[in-house]
Amino acid sequence: MLIPVNPPNASWPGLSQGVILQGNGIFLTSGHVGLDEKGELVSGDFETQVVAVFEGIGRTLKAAGLGFESVARIVTYVTDYEPGMVDIIRRVRSRYVSQEKPPASVLIAAAALYDPRVRVEVEVIAVVP
């Protein structure tokens, strides 16, 4: 059974921010972009967007009864890729995920995301105890 998960102010018509696959112990998120708690796109530089993305993922994990310690895999999509982005992503991500047991990770340079103002989108797979 699929259980949709949407934190407050984060539901979009036709999709869930996350889905628990009940019985399998897996939680999947949709791609998260740099939105504030009201669901508005944050303004600012790349790092500001990355922080907002991880804050949003945290809200979705919390709505599912999970935390970053449950994250097994992170997939990050960026536009206008530059090598310095990796350091920014790692620095921000290290504030949220375990450095002793870091999740598997993928970084993909994308031609574009759904809105030209969006520079980064992240999805995660987490384990449901």
Q: What is the structure's pLDDT at 125?
A: 98
How do strand 71-78 and strand 120-127 relate by DSSP bridges?
antiparallel
3-state secondary structure of 40: coil
- For the chain, the average pLDDT equals 94
Indicate the helix (H) or strand (E) that contains 123. Answer: strand 120-127
Share of the chain above pLDDT 90, in %: 84
Using DSSP's 3-state secondary structure scheme, residue 88 falls into helix
Task: Give per-residue pLDDT as tens, 61-71.
Answer: 999 999 999 99
The mean per-residue pLDDT over the stretch 38-54 comes to 94
Strands 120-127 and 104-109 turn out to be unpaired
pLDDT digits (tens, 9 = 90+) for 74-98: 999 999 999 999 999 999 999 999 9
User: pLDDT above 70 covers what percent of the chain?
Assistant: 98
Cβ distance 104 to 71 under 8 Å? no
Residue 26 main-chain phi, psi, to 5 deg: -125, 140
Beta bridge partners, 104, equal 73
pLDDT, tens digit (0-9, with 9 covering 90-100), for 11-35: 677 889 999 999 889 999 999 999 9
Query: Mind listing the domains of the chain with CATH numbers?
Result: 2-127 (3.30.1330.40)
- Residue 13 has a pLDDT of 78
Note the pLDDT of residue 11: 67
pTM: 0.94
Torsion region of 72: left, alpha or beta (phi above 0 gives left; psi -120 to 50 gives alpha)? alpha
